[in-house]
Structure 1
């Protein structure tokens, strides 16, 4: 066994990410937003904390009630966004339609190459990315970072979500929906 193999064999890493916690000036509005986005269920709530989950984890998201704290500063160090993956383009687009009907719209829709992504902003100013991998094999997603296409445009190509929905409803495959340039947006504006 080589030194590298021994080091990897001794490597202990978490088996999952358990939960994410937000400090909230507007907890009720923020919790309601996440409950709608994730179709989550309430696990616990008191005057200080709220726990919700969208799967079998006892709590995926937690929210501290902290009225009066300052708003999030856009030009400050910290987390830029948290990404959540769907298993198919249809799941992502169905979620977009459901959220749009509830008045929750993405602030940016872009095909990054390895993912097709919709970015949303919560009531506290935190961004989340709802995405689908564009390739069935994770290695192909990772290999995209080493292509000339990525070297020439590291951000990707914006798309019109309603155009992508129209393609989906017309029977386009996941490969067609996730193709770079599908339902290309009229203007490339970048993240807000």
Structure 2
């Protein structure tokens, strides 16, 4: 331990374990995250509810803390939470499942390094207005992703290219390789003022997420 301290570099953690969210509306928040993540409640004790979707004891915790007010848009703080999928097929399967619950993305974008669906509960935004991202890596390794992020195309447009998820699903179902669908089209420069996240719709608040029949 002494030699590690002398090295000057802080030991990095092995993983990011969980996120805790304060909320003035804990019941809709819990129901949203159960539907959004395919998760379940591990424990609900006092003001805290602990939720997980994998082998971690909790990934999201919702706290009904006294005096908690509504989220202030455009204030400093956390911008969004991102969740990864292994394949484009998995990403869009989850998209369709959320859509059946009435949960639709507010922004679908191919950043280059990732293909992402930002969410808002009617657009992947949770009931408090926190933005969520679901993504799949577009490159097979970190080296290729880093190379793209240093390319002129990424410098010119760091924000990405919007897409219609239903159109990409049609391409996927037609048998087109995922590697082709993941390739980012180039549209030239893009400014931050064009991003849907700057003016998202107000979040919806529901107490349950029953499947909506088409």
Tell me the alpha carbon deviations over residues 137-186 of structure 1, each in whole angstroms, 9 at most, x when there is no partner.
Answer: 1111122111011111111100001111111111222112211139xxxx
Q: Which moved more, 1:11-20 or 1:92-101?
A: 11-20
Counterpart of 1:107 in structure 2 is 106
When the two structures are superposed, what TM-score results if normalisation uses the length of structure 1?
Answer: 0.88
TM superposition shift of 1:47? 3.4
Alpha-carbon separation, structure 2, partners of 1:67 and 1:32: 20
Runs of 4+ in 1 over 6 A off after TM superposition: none
Alpha-carbon separation, structure 1, partners of 2:101 and 2:180: 27
Unaligned runs of 5+ in 1: 1-5, 183-187
Counterpart of 1:132 in structure 2 is 136
Counterpart of 2:204 in structure 1 is none
When the two structures are superposed, what TM-score results if normalisation uses the length of structure 2?
Answer: 0.79
Assess if the C-alpha contact under 8 Å between 1:134 and 1:179 holds in 2: yes
Alpha-carbon separation, structure 1, partners of 2:176 and 2:29: 35
Relative contact order (alpha carbons < 8 A, sep ≥ 6): 1 or 2 greater?
2
1:29 aligns with 2:45: no
Assess if the C-alpha contact under 8 Å between 1:26 and 1:67 holds in 2: no
1:156 aligns with 2:196: no
Alpha-carbon separation, structure 2, partners of 1:75 and 1:181: 30
* Pairs aligned (count): 181
SS in 2 for 1:92: helix
Unaligned runs of 5+ in 2: 1-5, 120-124, 187-192, 198-214
Counterpart of 1:185 in structure 2 is none
SS in 2 for 1:59: coil
Alpha-carbon separation, structure 1, partners of 2:22 and 2:141: 36
Counterpart of 1:93 in structure 2 is 92
Tell me the alpha carbon deviations over residues 105-140 of structure 1, each in whole angstroms, 9 at most, x when there is no partner.
Answer: 011000000000000111110011100000111111
The counterpart of 1:191, out of the listed 174, 188, 196, is: 196
1:143 aligns with 2:147: yes
Alpha-carbon separation, structure 2, partners of 1:7 and 1:191: 44
TM superposition shift of 1:11? 4.7
Assess if the C-alpha contact under 8 Å between 1:24 and 1:67 holds in 2: no
